[in-house]
Amino acid sequence: MKKQVLLWLLSGVLFLNACQNNTIHNETTSMTFTISEKPFGQINGDTITQYTITNPQGMQVSIINYGGTVTNLLVPGRDHELGDVVLGFDSLSGYLQKANPYFGCLVGRYGNRIAKGKFILDGQAYQLTLNDHGNTLHGGVQGLDKVIWQASKPAGDSSLKLTYTSKDGDQGFPGNLVIEVVYTLSSDNALQIAYSATTDKATPVNLTNHCYFNLSAGKQNTILDHEVMLQAEKFTAVDSLLIPTGQLPDVKGTPMDFTTPKKIGAELAAVKGGYDHNWVLKRKGKDLEKIATAYDASSGRFMEVFTTEPGLQFYTGNFLDGTLKGKQQQKYQQHAGFCMETQHFPDAPNQPSFPNTIVKPGESYRSLTYYRFSVK
Ligand code: BGC
């Protein structure tokens, strides 16, 4: 009898293995990680390159060295079809236009807002470039989203390393900041983004990525039916220009409550302008933790967000208005995509009670975020 049970178990394992091998061997997949590259246009004589990493499951991410921008993210749905789950453009000119709302790019030196672009550090006042109603948004006029990064391909074909040195005084920030961002695809369908930076003068640093996700891969014009969970019991209250007031209200009993999964559209109308807030993540410590999920029932795609950061800007594409022509001439209407920007809190350099964002010489800024995809 025991022998029979063992044989039955063994055949089950062999059967499962065979199934897995079948999926791995289908036409759209390769057995290993690969990285390819192709030209993606020119800026003042510099060639911009698009790098595409493919994992053994066939998941793909394409990144250009202009702005370190994720241009495409191909993820399987319930039907096993790969779908592109990020908004963007088909060519470089789309990304270069003034109206590009930070599609897919790296954001810094300081993601989110700094009030009036001012802060005082070690007794010295600094003035940053202003680009958002008299405030500084996403690092200023010429942030890290608008520069050309140096790209290299680490061994293993699963990563792309981007480096950039932002000079002392760039956009008004002190210190030469040497930044490194490594995008990696894992074999369990996660896109990992590892950020690090060092400086030679104390300076605020808050790096993030600005992918606009639509897990239906274009089948749904908006993300209002996506179900979202945010592991947060508080958020940073903001004024009419989205500058934090310093208060951290409870989400309980308000439209800001995503502690259990809820459709984005369920209570969005009750939030003036839509969701564009920093949630205070409820974390166990400083290690990588799962802090948010998003699910699109129409395609079955499920996204889990893991981060080491204390905050998450959940932005529901409120300023999209149908005037941008995106990939394959798609018109991105209001709420066509959502961002989950893992970060420190907005305006922290002026808010002593918020977690510290100042990096000093000899210290190393580090931040890690994963977006992991599966099907439900
Ligand atoms: C901000 C929005 C802003 C958008 C730019 C988001 O991170 O929170 O207020 O409009 O970026 O596209």
| Each residue's pLDDT tens digit, 53-80 | 999 999 999 999 999 999 999 999 999 9
Place of tokens 């499951």: 57
pLDDT, residue 26, reads 34
Q: Which atom of ligand 1 is nearest to the CA of 111?
A: 7
> Does residue 6 have a pLDDT over 80?
no
What mean pLDDT is predicted for residues 9-13?
A: 37
Cα 337 to Cα 327: distance, rounded to the nearest angstrom: 13
Which SS3 state, helix, strand or coil, does residue 105 take? coil
371 lines ligand 1 (CB under 6 A): no
The CA distances from residue 317 to 6, 177, 213, in Å, are 55, 30, 10
Cα 66 to Cα 146: distance, rounded to the nearest angstrom: 7
Q: How far is the CA of 245 from the centre of ligand 1 (A)?
A: 18
> Does residue 376 have a pLDDT over 50?
yes
pLDDT over 90, % of the chain: 91
> Does residue 5 have a pLDDT over 80?
no
Question: Is residue 146 within 8 Å of residue 129, measured between CB atoms?
Answer: no
The pLDDT tens digits of the residues spanning 321-354 come to 999 999 999 999 999 999 999 999 999 999 999 9
- In this structure, which residue's CA is closest to atom 6 in ligand 1? 315
Which SS3 state, helix, strand or coil, does residue 210 take? coil
> Does residue 32 have a pLDDT over 50?
yes
Q: CA dihedral defined by 302, 338, 189, 163, rounded to 10 degrees?
A: -160
Q: Supply the DSSP symbol for 275.
A: -
> Does residue 87 have a pLDDT over 90?
yes
Residue 230: in which H helix or E strand, if any? strand 227-230
43 Cβ contact list (under 8 Å, min separation 6)? 66, 92, 96, 148
> Does residue 357 have a pLDDT over 50?
yes
Strand partners, 357: none
159 Cβ contact list (under 8 Å, min separation 6)? 35, 53, 153, 182, 183, 184, 185
What mean pLDDT is predicted for residues 274-283?
A: 98
Q: How far is the CA of 112 from the centre of ligand 1 (A)?
A: 7
pLDDT band at residue 31 under the 50/70/90 scheme = confident
Q: CA dihedral defined by 72, 166, 366, 151, rounded to 10 degrees?
A: 40
The CA distances from residue 256 to 77, 224, 241, 270, in Å, are 28, 15, 18, 10
Residue 297 CB-density burial (10 A; 0-12 exposed, 13-18 middle, 19+ buried): middle
Cα 312 to Cα 289: distance, rounded to the nearest angstrom: 13
pLDDT, residue 21, reads 30
> Does residue 42 have a pLDDT over 60?
yes
Q: How far is the CA of 311 from the centre of ligand 1 (A)?
A: 15
Which SS3 state, helix, strand or coil, does residue 351 take? coil
Active site residue 133: no
pLDDT, residue 30, reads 55
Active site residue 25: no
The residue annotated as part of the active site, out of 226, 335, 341, 344, is 341
> Does residue 19 have a pLDDT over 50?
no
- In this structure, which residue's CA is closest to atom 8 in ligand 1? 276
255 lines ligand 1 (CB under 6 A): no
- In this structure, which residue's CA is closest to atom 10 in ligand 1? 319
Q: Supply the DSSP symbol for 242.
A: S
Question: Is residue 291 within 8 Å of residue 305, measured between CB atoms?
Answer: yes
> Does residue 302 have a pLDDT over 60?
yes
Give yes or no for a cis peptide into 109 (omega within 30° of 0). yes
DSSP 116-164: GGEEEETTEEEE----BTTBEETTSTT-GGGSBPEEE--TTSSEEEEEE
Residue 67 backbone dihedrals phi, psi, to 5 degrees: 70, 5
Work out the mean pLDDT of the chain and round it to a whole number: 93
> Does residue 237 have a pLDDT over 90?
yes
What mean pLDDT is predicted for residues 299-323?
A: 98
> Does residue 23 have a pLDDT over 70?
no
What mean pLDDT is predicted for residues 131-156?
A: 98
> Does residue 2 have a pLDDT over 80?
no
What mean pLDDT is predicted for residues 149-175?
A: 98
- In this structure, which residue's CA is closest to atom 2 in ligand 1? 276
Ligand 1 pocket check: which of 113, 138, 344 to mutate, most ligand atoms within 8 Å of Cβ?
138
Q: How far is the CA of 358 from the centre of ligand 1 (A)?
A: 22
pLDDT, residue 28, reads 46
Minimal CA–CA distance to 97: which of 298, 332, 293?
332
> Does residue 14 have a pLDDT over 70?
no
> Does residue 208 have a pLDDT over 70?
yes
The residue annotated as part of the active site, out of 138, 210, 335, 344, is 210
Strands 301-307 and 190-199: unpaired
Q: How far is the CA of 315 from the centre of ligand 1 (A)?
A: 7
Residue type, 223: I
